[in-house]
């Protein structure tokens, strides 16, 4: 596997845990018969999933369920 694919995928999903969840969900979908969104060059589904995330074939909208929720805004105490 090309190590730069994982680095590029981290640009799309900075949280490593969320990246693992997103890639594993996409990998399971590929194993279940989903069409690959990048050229499959006899690679494992895990590598295809990471490359799809890295190249932007998976939209940010599709990645939202795997991304951590933004921290709630806190109001400052009145002085």
Residue 24, token pair as written in the block = 């594993």
CA distance 22 to 40: 19
Fold of the CATH domain 3-66: Eukaryotic RPB6 RNA polymerase subunit (3.90.940)
Helix (H) or strand (E) holding 73: none
CA 54 from centre of chain:
8
Is pLDDT of 11 > 80?
A: yes
Share of the chain above pLDDT 70, in %: 100
Confidence of residue 57 (pLDDT cuts 50, 70, 90): very high
Confidence of residue 68 (pLDDT cuts 50, 70, 90): confident
Average pLDDT in the chain: 90
Is pLDDT of 78 > 90?
A: no
Is pLDDT of 45 > 90?
A: yes
Q: What are phi and psi of 72, to 5 degrees?
A: -65, 145
Helix (H) or strand (E) holding 77: none
Question: Angle CA(60)–CA(61)–CA(62) in degrees, nearest 5?
Answer: 90
């Amino acid at each position: 596997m090309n190590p730069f694919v994982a680095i590029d995928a981290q640009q799309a999903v900075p949280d490593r845990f969320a990246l693992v969840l997103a890639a594993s969900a996409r990998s399971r979908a590929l194993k279940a018969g989903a069409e690959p969104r990048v050229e499959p060059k006899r690679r494992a589904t895990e590598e295809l999933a990471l490359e799809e995330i890295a190249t932007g074939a998976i939209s940010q909208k599709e990645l939202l369920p795997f991304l951590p929720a933004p921290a709630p805004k806190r109001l400052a105490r009145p002085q």
